[in-house]
Amino acid sequence: MKFHLIGIGGAGMSVVADLLLAQGHSVHGSDRADSQNVRRLRDAGAVVAVGHAQENMDDDAIVVVSSAIKPENPELHIARARGQKIMHRSQALAFAAQNKDFVAVAGAHGKTSTTGMLAVALAELGLDPSRAIGGSLAGGLSGGYLGSGQILVAEADESDQSFLNYAPRVALVLNIEADHLDHYGTLEKFEQAFVDFSQRIVPGGLLVCCADNDGSRALAEQAVQAGARVWTYGRTECSIGQAHALLRDPDADADPDADAQCARIVFGAQNYELKMAVPGEHMLLNAVGAWLVGVELGISGQDMARALQAFRGTGRRFELRGEQRGIKVIDDYAHHPTEVEATLRTAKSLFSGKVRVLFQPHLYSRTKNFAQRFAQALSLADDVVVTSVYAAREVPSDGVEGDAITAFLPTADYIPDRIQAAHEIARRAEPGDAILTVGAGDVTELGAVILEELEKNS
């Protein structure tokens, strides 16, 4: 079959392209600019045009779009005029996942890392799973891969309700917190989308929920009342579902491991040692959810706990970009206040020097809705510079910019020009400090700018 993917270089769309290519389909596409993903897909056999134009379109292709593609896009416009078949990205992923045991990872944050954990652990156990992850894995592995095994693990994107196109065998819900209100309008509608998602689980399937998160716990309660199979996990006891995995500190007599953070999972009458090679308390908690998915898939608890240690992280999730003059530069995708807080708590636990943050807000609507919460999260850092909003799919909003956040955090500086902001945060740093570039936009490109400035001033 022939597919044309508009915006093929995007994180989610490139994964679909990877899967379709691996299945032997003809993949064409376009994107507004050249990128690493575009180049990689070309090398894999895709035909990709830079820029959107009607002449890029073959009239016999199935057109795949995401919610970010505007109706006036010339390729989408001509496809509709011709009556070509048009699929949402999530529908194309569901197509690529046919006849697989579909494991969907959902939540307001933590999806990419947790989906990566599952994919790596299952691969470590020799199951060769397929994966659809909106980011690369450590070691430069693509987020999209068609394996020979029966399992496909995928991020379930709630931002536009597209996760309602899936029918998973197992659904893992990490958390439910207000986000994407530009699409949903209210928290109640956002929460209802997760209820609808849970009802998409195939008969006999399983819903796994984090009981430590209020939204996810409430979903578990509703699902149990509706007669669904539900397992929960968390740091505290919970009796909502049919089973609960408890995250505990390691046993007192456990062997210490300097290269891992250690804990144990209590499940029924059994204890399982959990070691994670990635930092952060939130990573341990997410790993317990991933562990429960593995158990549901028939893997022994001991084997699943061991396999999770093979996970080394995903691109843009607390990713070390380099070091100059004893100053580490780390990039992180956090773009929700809870994510920012988790990232900064991790940084504060790892570094003895000052934690300095260059934060780029993502979306005007999110900045407006959560300005005060962003300020509270960023206050954990020792030094904060906020730059201008990364618009992504939105148009500029009157009166909303990065200074909406610094208005609630007087110790932070607002520097609209992102290059100037990068130079400034670098000039302040001293040996032993860590500089974090944080956000879902092109702030990721500023790590190189900061390292160059650090080297220049060495």
User: In 10 A of CB 41, how many CB atoms?
Assistant: 26
CB atoms within 10 A of CB 349: 12
Determine the pLDDT at residue 76: 97
Report H helices in 379-417: 403-406
Q: What whole-number distance in Å separates Cα of residue 285 and Cα of residue 436?
A: 23
Determine the Cα–Cα distance for residues 312 and 318; give it in Å rounded to an integer.
11
| Cβ within 8 Å of residue 99, ≥6 positions away | none
Give the pLDDT confidence score for residue 73 in this predicted structure.
Answer: 95
End-to-end CA distance of the chain: 56
- Give CA–CA dist 209/384, Å, rounded: 34
For the record, the structure tokens of 356 come out as 């300095």
* Active-site residue identified among 75, 100, 112, 444: 112
The sheet with strand 62-65 has its strands ordered as 47-50, 26-31, 2-6, 62-65, 86-88
Q: Contact at 8 Å (CB) between 16 and 74?
A: no
Distance (Å, rounded) from C-alpha 442 to C-alpha 27?
27
pLDDT in tens, 79-108: 999 999 999 999 998 888 778 899 999 999
At residue 283, the 3 state secondary structure works out as helix
Q: Which of 75, 155, 339, 341 is the catalytic position? A: 155
Amino acid at 391: A
The residue from 100, 111, 275, 328 that is catalytic is: 111
Exposed (0-12), middle (13-18) or buried (19+): which is 410, by Cβ within 10 Å?
A: exposed
Per the annotation, the verdict on 155 as an active-site residue is yes
Taking the C-alpha atoms of residue 116 and residue 11, their distance in angstroms, rounded to an integer, is 14
Residue 112 CA to residue 136 CA, distance in Å, equals: 9
Contacts of 249 (CB under 8 A, 6+ apart): 263, 264
Determine whether 387 is an active site residue.
Answer: no
C-alpha angle with apex 74: 68 to 78, nearest 5 degrees? 115
Q: Which residues contact 101 (CB under 8 A, 6 or more apart)?
A: 150, 151, 152, 169, 170, 297
Distance of alpha carbon 56 from alpha carbon 214, whole angstroms? 47
Q: Using an 8 Å Cβ cutoff, are 277 and 308 in contact?
A: no
What secondary structure letter does DSSP report for 273? E
Note down pLDDT in tens along the chain; length 458 residues: 999 999 999 877 888 998 899 889 999 999 999 988 899 999 999 999 999 999 999 999 999 998 889 899 999 999 999 999 999 999 998 888 778 899 999 999 999 999 999 999 999 999 999 998 988 898 888 888 888 899 999 999 898 898 999 999 999 999 999 888 788 889 899 999 999 999 999 999 999 999 999 999 999 999 999 999 999 999 999 999 999 999 999 987 777 777 789 999 999 999 999 999 999 999 999 999 999 999 999 999 999 999 999 999 998 899 999 999 999 999 999 999 999 999 999 999 999 999 999 999 999 999 999 999 999 999 999 999 999 999 987 888 878 999 999 999 999 999 999 999 999 999 999 999 999 999 999 999 999 999 999 999 87
Helix (H) or strand (E) holding 271: strand 270-276
Kindly give the pairing relationship between strand 327-332 and strand 319-324: antiparallel
Residues 6+ apart with CB under 8 A from 444: 316, 331, 333, 437
DSSP code per residue over 52-66: --GGG--TTSEEEE-
Provide the pairing of β-strand 206-210 with 261-267: unpaired
Q: Decide: 215 and 294 in contact? Cβ < 8 Å.
A: no
Q: How many CB atoms lie within 10 A of CB 139?
A: 9
Q: CA nearest 170: which of 290, 45, 335?
A: 290
pLDDT at 304: 98
Give the torsion sign (CA, 378, 400, 362, 93).
Answer: positive
| Cα dihedral sign, 106-109-110-111 | positive
Taking alpha carbons only, the member of 89, 44, 100, 43 closest to residue 62 is 89
